[in-house]
Structure 1
Amino acid sequence: MRILPLALAALLIPSVALAQCGGSFSGFVESLKQEALTAGYDRTTVNGFFKGARQDQKVLRADRAQGVFQKPFIDFSRHLISQNRIDRGRSMAQKYDSTFRRIEATYGINRGVLLAFWAFETDYGAFQGDFNTRNALITLAHDCRRPALFRPQIFSALELYKRGNFDPARTTGAWAGEIGMVQMLPQDILDNGVDADGDGHVSLKTSAPDALMSGAKMLSHLGWQPGQPWLQEVTLPRDLDLAQTGIETKLSVRDWQRQGLRAKEGSLASGNMKASLLLPQGHRGPAFLAYPNFDVYFEWNQSFTYVLTAAYFANRLEGASIYNAGKPDQGLSNAQMKQLQQRLQNLGYDVGKVDGILGAKTRAAVQTEQQRLGLPADAWPTPALLKRL
């Protein structure tokens, strides 16, 4: 799922527009039409795009029911990664070898990276979503939870319609407005759409070359460094300073080596490259070194668990072995995680919404409290930590 960070989305529209949400849905649509006319679109185009627009309650239910992200990394990754997906990914790599070679030559992005997104977003194009894209975007913009994120995408879809590359009545995709095999938002398509098969159209729903090249261009636009690694499994020394782990701490590979980190397979990257040590389920579970390209994944999706799983799956598709799951300490149930977040809030931490999801803010607060209480500061919340708090 391709979701823009809220801070970035807020820059795309004037502040006066951010307040325009809620109220009568028909009145909201009329305000969008007037804004489009003011922006210079002709009335025929505007009326054609908004004709038949309606609120979609299924979109709102989907937006509030993302329970899969509450799973810890091991469960989540095992849920998404199957041998069948690996086999199909390798088959797709062969089938579209010429496209992947072009991607590698043009953008320096390994095929495993695109294959992983392709697999997770739409199961290699098999399930692209059946939500009407225009209605989904208008519904989410009308809903006052995140209007700054979705409202700009309505006008991007309008621009695609003007260019003949969007059918407001028939274009479908994911509930959050993403379209095509690698699920790109309308603005991403405008910025990064590539007609890779040369038929004169950017067809992300029906052309795998178009979808893959467009996804690669978007990753490049977001800052992907050509030919550089993104994630690598490592083994830990027994005396590692766990307080230095986490996505916010970046040390040179040389410094990690001095502390005793070793690659599980192959060699670590260049000694000068910065990297973060990630322990998704604590110091007894899997361990990964995340390189600068890993940060680009968060421009695609904001979920730490999804991002880490996608990056790891890219490694598997490139030939890496299954990670060492270790024996992580017991985690928290959803109800316990909410209790933990509430207690952290009461202590003055900003953990975002109390939703039972172990996100970046909750991890940071957990790590700080673990240090204060003399527990292993690996950012993995346990019943023992909850009891101490």
Structure 2
Amino acid sequence: MRSLGLVLALSLASPAFADVPCGGNFSSFVNQMKQSALQQGHSKSAVDQFFAAARQDPAVIKADRAQGVFQKNFIDFSRALISQNRMQNGAANATKYKSVFDRIERDYGVSRGVLLAFWALETDFGQVQGNFNTLNALMTLSHDCRRPELFQPQVFAALTLFEHGDFDPAATQGAWAGEIGMVQMLPKDILQNGVDGDGDGHVRLKTSAPDALMSGAKMLRHLGWRANEPWLQEIVVPSNLDWSKTGLNHKMTVNQWAKLGVQPRSGALGNGNLQASVLLPMGRNGPAFLAYPNFEVYFEWNKSFVYVTTAAYFATRLEGAPVYNAGNPDAGLSGAQMQQLQQKLTKMGYDVGGIDGILGEKTREAVQSVQEKLGLPADAWPTAALLSRL
């Protein structure tokens, strides 16, 4: 097992923010990126070879602007993603790579269900890794003015991988946003957390499951994963719970939640001194979970609330937890209604994180605050009744 320490040292010299102006003529942009790479100390021959095939890809921009899947609610999203086939493949891969997962749990303290869930949701255990040319995706998003500060450093990280022999600018393919391999990691993350899990001298996240899984585990630890601690657990909540105390922005110890009547649906609650939040993805009448400190690390991997909650719950299922009790949640809002709500909340002075029709964590916090002011059950679940009240 070998981490890319030397390559990491080189990558840390990369600028943290976009240093090439975005937009304008793409060929001129490529030339400016090449000049920046040379200024960072990359050789001219490597720079010329690396950027020779760079092209703009309109399909990347289209994909970036159309992430409507996250408008689904937790129950619909999780049922769509957690199939019986994925459960069976998860069990099979847990057995096939048992020795790898044993090493991961020993060295990084990351439970196997966590990585199996990411592996399943990101690429169906490596079967669907994306067919976008990675360099073109990263260059297109670096040129686009929406988030160049995120993607330009990824281009230079990919250049460093190319110099190490672990990236082919013409042939490497992955997701539209530039992620590579079985657990979908960006080039800079590969430089910082890539692990040679199979001992062949390279980090091959596309073809080596040990490399991908070990690298994913190291990345989670790098992002703040607390070794051998829980992340999410289904609970039963009393009907008289103070709903304003729920949500990721409110924390109490496990012991304090237990005193308020929170109980595990199966198994036992985590260590009584752990800080935790009661999470109600679809309000007080829907599924209920206790979110431990490790749950927050999921948001460092993916920013979508519904994706993160699904991935964390899926990990518990892969380790034997029962199917959640869906309850009988109140009907939610359509995407258009959610945008109306976000517009109204924004006018009231709340930061909802953008008017995108997606019920993310900031919108939830705003909804909960308004519910409390209106004397409604403050469970952060927006309904048509709330929308009409505003």
Q: CA deviation at 1:212?
A: 0.5
Aligned length: 378
Q: CA deviation at 1:13?
A: 3.2
Q: CA deviation at 1:35?
A: 0.4
Structure 2: distance between partners of 1:208 and 1:238: 45
Deviations 1:187-221 (A, max 9, x none): 11111111111111111000111100110111111
Residue 32 of structure 2 corresponds to residue 34 of structure 1: no
What's 2:122 paired with?
A: 121
Q: SS where residue 140 of structure 1 aligns?
A: helix
What's 1:308 paired with?
A: 309
Q: SS where residue 275 of structure 1 aligns?
A: strand
What's 2:108 paired with?
A: 107
Structure 1: distance between partners of 2:16 and 2:362: 28
Structure 2: distance between partners of 1:194 and 1:259: 44
Native 8 Å contact 2:181 2:212 kept in 1 = yes
Deviations 1:312-349 (A, max 9, x none): 00000000000000000010011111110111111111
* Structure 2: tracts of 5 or more residues without a match: 1-12
Say if 1:14 and 1:301 are closer, same or farther in 2 by CA, change over 3 A: closer
What's 1:174 paired with?
A: 175
Structure 1: distance between partners of 2:65 and 2:16: 27
After superposing on structure 2, the runs of 4+ consecutive aligned residues of structure 1 that deviate more than 4 Å are none
Identity of aligned residues (%): 66
- TM (norm. structure 2) is 0.95
What's 2:48 paired with?
A: 47
Structure 2: distance between partners of 1:128 and 1:95: 20
What's 1:289 paired with?
A: 290
Say if 1:221 and 1:202 are closer, same or farther in 2 by CA, change over 3 A: same
Native 8 Å contact 1:13 1:148 kept in 2 = no
Structure 1: distance between partners of 2:19 and 2:336: 33
Q: CA deviation at 1:271?
A: 1.1
- State the one-letter code of the partner of 1:13: P
Q: CA deviation at 1:19?
A: 6.4
What's 1:165 paired with?
A: 166
Structure 2: distance between partners of 1:344 and 1:196: 48
What's 1:194 paired with?
A: 195
Residue 74 of structure 2 corresponds to residue 73 of structure 1: yes
Deviations 1:143-169 (A, max 9, x none): 001111111100000000111110000
Q: CA deviation at 1:294?
A: 0.6
- State the one-letter code of the partner of 1:210: D
Deviations 1:166-188 (A, max 9, x none): 00000000000000000000011
Structure 2: distance between partners of 1:63 and 1:318: 33
Residue 285 of structure 2 corresponds to residue 276 of structure 1: no
Structure 2: distance between partners of 1:271 and 1:195: 37
Deviations 1:27-71 (A, max 9, x none): 111110000111111110000000021100000000011111000
Query: What is the alpha-carbon root mean square deviation over aligned residues?
Result: 1.2
What's 2:152 paired with?
A: 151
Q: CA deviation at 1:18?
A: 5.0
Structure 1: distance between partners of 2:16 and 2:119: 34
Q: SS where residue 278 of structure 2 aligns?
A: strand
Structure 1: distance between partners of 2:354 and 2:241: 32
What's 1:13 paired with?
A: 15
Native 8 Å contact 2:14 2:40 kept in 1 = no
Q: SS where residue 28 of structure 1 aligns?
A: helix
- State the one-letter code of the partner of 1:223: G
Q: SS where residue 13 of structure 1 aligns?
A: coil
Residue 230 of structure 2 corresponds to residue 225 of structure 1: no
Give the alignment of 1:190-269 within 5 angstroms.
190-269=191-270
Structure 1: distance between partners of 2:299 and 2:249: 13
- State the one-letter code of the partner of 2:266: E
Residue 52 of structure 2 corresponds to residue 59 of structure 1: no
Structure 2: distance between partners of 1:37 and 1:101: 43
Structure 2: distance between partners of 1:266 and 1:154: 46
* Structure 1: tracts of 5 or more residues without a match: 1-10
Structure 1: distance between partners of 2:313 and 2:19: 37
Q: SS where residue 267 of structure 2 aligns?
A: coil
Q: SS where residue 341 of structure 1 aligns?
A: helix
Q: SS where residue 232 of structure 1 aligns?
A: strand
Q: CA deviation at 1:225?
A: 1.1
Q: SS where residue 90 of structure 2 aligns?
A: helix
